[in-house]
Structures are given as C-alpha cells and as structure tokens.
Structure 1
Amino acid sequence: MSNAALPLSGKHAVVTGGGRGIGAAIAASLLRQGARLTLLGRSETTLAETASRLEALGRIDYVCADVADADAVTHAFSKAESLGGTIDILINNAGQAVSAPFVKTDAQLWNRMLAVNLNGCFHCTQAVLPGMLRSGWGRIVNVASTAGLTGYGYVSAYCAAKHGVIGLTRALALELATKGITVNAVCPGYTDTDMTQETIANIVSKTARSAAEAQAELSMKNPQKRLVAPEEVANAVAWLCLPQSAAMNGQSITVAGGEVM
C-alpha cells in the first residue's frame, strides 16, 4: 500500500514523551498509518536514537522541551510546525510517576506531578488548538492511566493529576464537539516500560521482595495477570486518531486487561 493510501497520510502528529516506552510505540503505530511525526521530549540523545530507529517507517523529526515549561512548549511547537506543517494530531503522552505516602508528599512532589502530568497536557493542547480550529480537523489523545479512573495508595499526587487529565479530556471534548476535533484519553494499567521498571526497583528497595516478586505483584492488578505491552496502548491511540473514529469523543479507554470496568 502506498503512503498516500494510508488513513493518516498528510497528517502531522506530535507525540510528547516520544523517545521511549509507550510514546515510541505510539510514534511507530502512527507512522505505519501514514502520519508524519514529530517526537517531543527532554533528552535529545534519546529522541535522536528513536527517530533514527523509526525513520524507515516514514518521515520523523524531533524537538526538545519539558512539557511543564510553558515557554519551552511554545517554542518547541513552533519549531515542530516549521518542520512538519500544521499539527493535526497531538498525543499528550509525557508523564512521570513518583510514589510516596501522602504524609511524606511535600509541596515540591505534589506540584511536580501536576506540572508534568496535567499542566503539560494543558500547555501542549493550547499550542496546537488554534491550528486545529483553523483547519477544522484534529485529534487529541491524552495518555492518562487507570490511576485517572480509580485510586491507588502511595501515589496520591499522580492519581490527582491523572484524574485531572480525565476531567480536562471530557470538558474539552464537549467544547470542541462541533469543530471537527475529538479529544479522548487512553488509560493503561501497569505497562512494560521503563517507568514500571522504576516502580519495581522502588518496591525492591523498600521491601524484602525480589524484582520478580515485585513485578508479579503489579501484574496481579491486571485480571490477565501480566503487564500490558506498549504496542497494545499504541494500537488504541492510533485507532482514536483515524478519520473513521470521528464519533469517539470524550472517552477514557482502559487498556488494562479488565482491571477497571
């Protein structure tokens, strides 16, 4: 099939946190659908390596920014538009999770979780929305978490931020419902990424469990008794971006083996 025949041919997508894990898997999936990609992240080295690895799938560039920094986001998205044109698809994937009991969650940790996980979505969405409104078409997909739909102990700041992402998704979906722009969220459970490996390492450091036992404990939260694969999350995201998915709006789709129903 020629690139022109692919469903996202001619669409420019930006994936934040696109250098690794779920973000890199999403980038690959969108490239296979014909989109041209710009990765956004903090590490130029990581972005360059991922872009090099995926360039055989299609046109891909990258820009550097911390999504928590509004000015840096504005500059990065301006550069992304100069590289690939108007941004048609935004995947708000950049995120960070740090665990702590609530009584040990200080203001710095609280504000950092909101800054990266929630404010980052706000900054990036504001950067792309004017262009989407002008063109009358757009897809915004926020990578939230099952922590945005239910509670988890010891990650209160992260849960609060991800619940905020779900609220933002629903409010913006209604506001843009007649504008040709859809806004949805995907909510992965524990996924086989570096972030989950960091969680496992944290469990090991604070308990007597081995890494295998810690991973098994996290896997037990999924009724399928396994970690989710990044590609499974990416497939859900790519589907929401398709022109044929225009009726999907304001949804929070769990990719977690039945963990949340």
Structure 2
Amino acid sequence: MKWLVTLLVLSQSFWVYALDTVYVVKEQRPLYDRDVYLFELLEKALQAAKYNAPLEYVKVHPHQQRTLMMLAQGKVDVLWSMTSPERETLGIAVKVPLFRGYIGKRAILVNQDQLDRFANITTLDGLRPLVAVQGHDWPDTKILAHNDLTVRPQAKYEAMFSMLNSHQVDYFPRAFIEVSSELASFQRFPLAIVPNVYLHYPAAFYFFVNKDKPALAKAIENGLAIMEKNGEFKSLFDRYFAASIAALKLDNATVIELENPYFEVDANEG
C-alpha cells in the first residue's frame, strides 16, 4: 500500500507520548461487529505507536453530519466515517482504509418477497426503475444519485429497514462487512440478500481526527502502518469479518459497477 512505505520510515524513531485524554465518538445505537472492530483497531494502533493517552468514549446521537460537526468544533477528537471531499475539510483524514477494500462492495438487501423480482437484474439500467434507501447525510446517497439511481433519503437508521419491510422502497445497499450483523439485528423483518449480484464503487472508510491534534493523527497512521507490516491489521480484520463475508457467497456474483466522483481515483479503497 502506498501509505505504508513512507509511514514505516517515520515509525522507526518513535518516542513515548504522554498526552491528554482522547475523546472518541461512540454512537448511541446497537453496536455491530464493524463498530467493535474499529474500537479495537484504534486502541491497537495507538498502542503500536506508543501513544499513551487514555481513551474516553463520548456517546452521541447516530447522525453522521452532526457528529462530524462535533469533530470540527473540537468537541471530540476521533471518529470514523466513509470519506468525501466535504468530510475531509472537517478534520484530519487518516488515509488508511479501515475495511481493506470491502466498504464499497454493497450487497443488495431486499424484502424476501422481492427476490424473484431481482433475480434477473444484473445491470445499472435494470436498477434504475427501482427505489433505494440510504441515509440522508451519507456519501453513498450522492454516489447512487450520480449514477442516475433513485434514492429515498432517510434520517433514521432503523427506519430504513422498516421501509424495506413495508415496501416503501425496493432495496437497501449494505456493505459486505455490515450486512450480516444487520440481518441478525433485524430478524423481525423478512429481509434477504440478493444472491446473484452486488454493487461496487470506489470508497474508503477512514479515521478522522480533530484538526488541533495532528500528532494524534500521525500516531494513528503510524500505528496502522506497524500493524500492516506485522500482519496484525489483516488478522484483526479477518477475525471479525472473514467468516461473514465468506457466508455471503457472492464471490461469483455479477458486479454492477458505479462511479464515485467524490473519491480520489488513486486512493486505496476500503
């Protein structure tokens, strides 16, 4: 990875930091594997970088734009988010992909009674008459709209699954690393993954850091580089996600490629 070589050189001359408490966002909602993984990844990266500051988790409402504004205002120090040009103006983006290429791979979640309807949809044109749901402030909403897909924005996370259940929308694209946990969490709804096709667009999920704490951002970056070199990064990812990704059985599925004009073409995905 491009970020790794430079960072490993920098990491050879670490000193032990002793700094103030780092305030980390923790959304007030059920936590999934992706969340617990990111908490652990952050802690391990800081340990690897010998950045010995205590972490304090700040409970916030799960509203992405509001949380990003808290970061911009210095009310929190670290959060994680899918990147976009706008979001990278609000904090220091640590440009190490956290989900190793999987955040832009999107399983198509539907109501079970719609599986036959989706069985023959294998192109972008086939999706265009249908309605997707996405978060109203998610970068994904703009990405789908850029590709001339109809998107119904929704502010409440849980409501998106309810809308799918009640046929207010036709499908809900979800990342490979999150869809299995979500299906388990919303078992009360008859939802299913379309087995023969998925979406893909270039994207990445990054740690974002308070602009007033560049040393913290550099420590996270260096720590992730160390973990990548010694294999701990991949090992941690596999522990959380390898089995659930394999269980999706989408390796041989048709891929519908989408453009993402809001992501650097030469950046690493994930």
| More helix, by proportion | 1
> Normalization by structure 1: what TM-score?
0.34
Relative contact order: is structure 1 or structure 2 higher (C-alpha 8 Å, sep ≥ 6)?
2
Select the structure of larger CA radius of gyration. Answer: 2
> Normalization by structure 2: what TM-score?
0.34
| More strand, by proportion | 2
